[in-house]
């Protein structure tokens, strides 16, 4: 997951179900501040995004439009083809969005070890979900504009940090000079150590 910029929450969710050991939630809150925008002529797919917010969200006391399904829904592990062995997840600064959701849920499990660097996506939350392209009228510069605020886990400090690896594997001058895959090297080291411990425990 170290170079996975995120993307489909459905795909992230499905993969999580095959590895997670207990029911999990995607978000503590997921909301948009407004239904529309006065700059909608510059926002791609604005019509469909507006329909989504209008029909599938509900305005709550905080004045925001909440997508309650993901705030309430507990997703259960898959029974068929579920993997219960040791899992090593490689993360880095390019691990964003749905990748952070995936890593954040699985980090709590005893059979999962996150190796590498802090994720680029926030552990507490991020701006996400519907992310249309915006084209500026004069320069025609394009950028992506997230329409929802996603609070993944409100118990995590709101400090802007990503999901922290349990085993840090950071670049060094020597690793860069040798063009070595230092995250994978560390993961393989842990796998071999775990295998050796299992073998010695059986003897």
pLDDT digits (tens, 9 = 90+) for 130-151: 899 999 999 999 999 999 999 9
Percent of the chain predicted with pLDDT > 70: 99
3-state SS class at 6: coil
Q: Please, what is the end-to-end C-alpha distance for the chain in angstroms?
A: 35
- What is the β-pairing status of strands 148-151 and 125-128? antiparallel
State residue 33 phi and psi, 5-degree precision: -80, -35
Q: 159 pairs with which residues across the strands?
A: none
pLDDT tens for 54-81 read 999 999 999 999 999 999 999 999 999 9
Domains in the chain, please, with CATH?
9-168 (3.90.226.10), 171-203 (no CATH)
Region 44-60 average pLDDT:
93
SS3 118: coil
Distance in angstroms (rounded) separating the CA atoms of residues 82 and 89: 17
- pLDDT tens-digit map of 146-187: 999 999 999 999 999 999 999 999 988 888 888 888 999 999
Model pLDDT, residue 25: 92
Largest CA distance in the chain: 73
Look at residue 198 in the predicted model and tell me its pLDDT: 78
């Amino acid at each position: 997951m170290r170079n996975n910029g995120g993307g489909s929450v459905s795909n992230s969710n499905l993969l999580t179900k095959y590895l997670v050991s207990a029911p999990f939630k995607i978000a503590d809150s997921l909301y948009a501040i407004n239904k529309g925008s006065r700059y909608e002529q510059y926002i791609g797919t604005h019509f469909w995004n507006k329909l989504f917010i209008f029909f599938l969200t509900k305005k709550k006391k905080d004045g925001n439009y909440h997508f309650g399904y993901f705030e309430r829904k507990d997703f259960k592990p898959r029974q068929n083809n579920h993997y219960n062995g040791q899992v090593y997840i490689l993360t880095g600064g390019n691990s964003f969005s749905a990748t952070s959701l995936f890593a954040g849920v699985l980090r709590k499990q005893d059979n999962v070890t996150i190796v590498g660097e802090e994720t680029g996506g926030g552990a507490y939350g991020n701006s996400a979900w519907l992310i249309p392209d915006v084209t500026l009228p004069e320069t025609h510069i394009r950028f992506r504009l997230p329409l929802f605020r996603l609070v993944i886990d409100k118990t995590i400090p709101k400090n802007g940090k990503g999901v922290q690896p349990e085993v840090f594997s950071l670049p060094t001058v020597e690793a860069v000079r040798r063009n070595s895959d230092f995250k994978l090297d560390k993961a393989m080291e842990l796998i071999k150590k775990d295998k050796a411990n299992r073998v010695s425990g059986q003897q």
